[in-house]
Amino acid sequence: MIILGIDPGLRNTGFGVVKSYGRSDATYIASGVIQTKADESLALRIKTILLGVQEIIATYQPDVVSIEKVFVNVNPQSTLMLGQARGAAIAACVLQNLPIYEYTALQVKQSVVGYGHAEKEQLQRMVVQLLKLAGTPQADAADALACALAHLHYSHLGKIFNMTSVKAGRMRDEK
């Protein structure tokens, strides 16, 4: 299974691609950042994200997508902008009929680091360790790789316990 992890952002949208062979371990395939230009209109920035995610999907052919949920920011304008960037990334995935799984930052950190309130640096170090990377990826790319790893861990747990989803950090049977 190839998992595309996405850390949405209007300025930088991180992506990470990992491959799993049915267990909870993963092999690194690729990661990076889709950058938009701050001086461009919102519409052009959204287009850049949509086209960037489409190109990543075409290149790496993921089976599933794992994307970080929007958290409510102190600044409502920032939250709305982040939501629009996230929507562009989701739209690119939906257009390719890819299943999308959503995780909060807390769930991602809990799954990868073991502590839901871990610092970004801790998350980066665990991504490097789990994927046996030679160097540390950029922060947004590391967050996206962590999102992909979180899906891998949660889906593996779901198979073990015959559960189908994660809500509020708990596995659920949706039958």
Is 140 considered catalytic here?
A: yes
Side chain identity, residue 152: L
| Residue 68 annotated as catalytic | yes
**Catalytic choice (68, 102, 173, 174):** 68
**Catalytic residue check, 39:** no
What's the token pair of residue 92? 């690119």
Exposed/middle/buried for residue 117 (C-beta within 10 Å: 0-12, 13-18, 19+): exposed
Catalytic residue, from 140, 143, 173, 174: name it. 140
Residue 85's Cβ-side half-sphere holds a number of Cα atoms within 13 Å equal to: 28
Query: Among the residues of 95-138, which ranges form H helices?
Result: 105-112, 120-131
**Any idea which residues carry the catalytic annotation?**
7, 68, 140
